[in-house]
Structure 1
Amino acid sequence: MSPGRFLSAVRLQEAKRLLLSTSLSVTEISHKVGYSSVGTFSSRFKSSVGLSPSAYRELRGFAASIPVDIQRPATRSISVHGEVFQQDAGAGEGTVFVGLFPDTIPQGRPACCTVLERPGPFRLDNVPEGDWYLLAQSVVPGEEHVIGNAPPTVAAHGPITVRHGHIIGPLRIGLRPMRTLDPPVLLALLDVRRGALSAAAS
């Protein structure tokens, strides 16, 4: 990843933090993280995070759904499967998001994704052909109600080359605490908090 792209991701991550922790306006935040145009900032934020800045603030950092990239045609015979595990045996087992992305930064729309109740086996079906990075993030147990209370645990594997007719796996990826120089997780977390789905349906 180029330094410029890493810096851009760090700026958007700081914008996410400011949206949730301050009462600054979207315009003020866009200038604070280095954008001269609030329109450019809002467009970049939505394409990377999956929500507009205002919606991200209103939903407290959670997305009701994570759409996949429908511009890439899926090939039904291709699957990627494996297991996500906690490298630290003493770590709690929270909800895990697993997705395939074209880059090492979890941003924008994944090619396909799934959500696990806890670390364990996963399977991604109808994977489009191409080169992908398998990225995972775990919601911290007991902290699902708020973003940013503790560093997330993350895992990555790739690139994975997917070609027609091949089943990829089994892959094992280990979750570990996020480090300072890891690319920020820009994609808004899927709302998998306890009771969220039933509340949305009521």
Structure 2
Amino acid sequence: MEQSVELAVKRAIMMMQENLGEQLTVEDMARAAMFSKFHFSRIFLRATGVSPGRFLSALRLQRAKHLLRSTKLNVADISLRVGYNSLGTFSSRFTRSVGMSPTAYRRLAGFATHIPIDRSGRLGQPSAARVSGEIRLGPAVEPGLIFVGMFPDRIPEGRPVSCAVLTEPGCFHFESVPTGSWYLLAQSVTEKSQQMMWDHDAPDQRISVATHGPLTVRSDTVVEAELTLQPAGTLDPPVLLALLDVRPEASTERGHTEPRPLLQTIGRRQFPWTRACRPAA
């Protein structure tokens, strides 16, 4: 990507972050990037993988997550601060994207006990397709719990159709993947990062991300992919899905005081796995 284009998109994102309580238009964002509206929309999509409007919506919810964890503001006030005029709209979008309501997110201090899988068939029908791959760490990434899931969009939000949690870099394998177009999205957060309450708003956040796709999955598809985790940057869409709690006290509360190998055997190979991904009720 040309450096001038990247800088223009970053200017637009900075303007979004500074005005989340305002009703911004694509024209406002394009003006900050110093491009025409139509050219800006094209270069933004190419740089981030999502439209300017989708990125802005994700930033609003990301800031709401930060305010729910770090302040005592009520949910109605937070919704106004991040640009929502309707509390009902804010609550429904937050719940759909993060995986829990704003009230539950605050009560759980921003942590998820498990990641529910979408088995409704609404996003695609189960098939004989298989997707497998390997997660690697980039040079600046600290080891930590790794989540990898398949989503219909470039932004990791809502319920994945398949997912796994790895205790270390390595292989993953998904069976009976629904037909459709999917993104493989991986993210990792260390215990130290969670103690610092990671967020794109915080300069010391240490979330690492990787993406692959879109993948077109048909009933007999066999896909292999490699993903390399890199520190999340300005151009990476915010991680909206509530991540698993990796703090030691959380493991103790769940009855696990020692790390345990999380492996499932498929054929003659073993893949890191945990029950943290469960079919949705």
Alignment TM-score, normalising by the size of structure 2: 0.67
Kindly, what percent of the aligned residue pairs are identical? 52
Query: How far, CA to CA, are the matches of 1:197 and 1:74 in structure 2?
Result: 33
Query: Structure 2: which amino acid aligns with 1:85?
Result: R
Query: How far, CA to CA, are the matches of 1:197 and 1:125 in structure 2?
Result: 28
Name the structure where helix makes up a greater proportion of residues: 2
| Deviation string, structure 1 residues 27-73 (Cα, Å, up to 9, x no partner) | 11000001111111111100000010011111111111211111223
Tell me: CA distance 1:133–1:164, structure 2 relative to 1, closer, same or farther (3 Å): same
Query: How far, CA to CA, are the matches of 2:249 and 2:176 in structure 1?
Result: 29
| Deviation string, structure 1 residues 121-180 (Cα, Å, up to 9, x no partner) | 1112221011100000001253344531523000000001111122211x1111001111
| In the alignment, structure 1 residue 114 sits paired with structure 2 residue 164 | yes
Contact 1:60 1:147 in 2 (8 A): no
Contact 2:191 2:247 in 1 (8 A): no
Quote how far apart the aligned CAs of 1:195 are: 5.1
Q: Which segments of 5 or more consecutive residues in structure 2 lack a partner in the other structure?
A: 1-49, 199-203, 257-281
Quote how far apart the aligned CAs of 1:188 are: 0.4
**How does 1:136-147 map onto structure 2 within 5 Å?**
136-145=186-195, 147=197
Query: How far, CA to CA, are the matches of 1:192 and 1:186 in structure 2?
Result: 17
Q: CA RMSD in A?
A: 1.7
| In the alignment, structure 1 residue 158 sits paired with structure 2 residue 213 | yes
SS of the counterpart of 2:66?
Answer: helix
Between Structure 1 and Structure 2, whose CA radius of gyration is higher?
A: 2
Match of 1:61 among 110, 131, 156: 110
Q: Whose RCO is larger (CA < 8 A, sep 6+)?
A: 1
- Name the counterpart of 1:129: 179
- Name the counterpart of 1:82: 133
**How does 1:83-98 map onto structure 2 within 5 Å?**
83-88=134-139, 91-98=141-148
Q: Which segments of 5 or more consecutive residues in structure 1 lack a partner in the other structure?
A: none
**How does 1:34-49 map onto structure 2 within 5 Å?**
34-49=83-98
- Name the counterpart of 1:191: 245
Contact 1:85 1:174 in 2 (8 A): yes
- Name the counterpart of 1:29: 78
Contact 1:140 1:150 in 2 (8 A): no
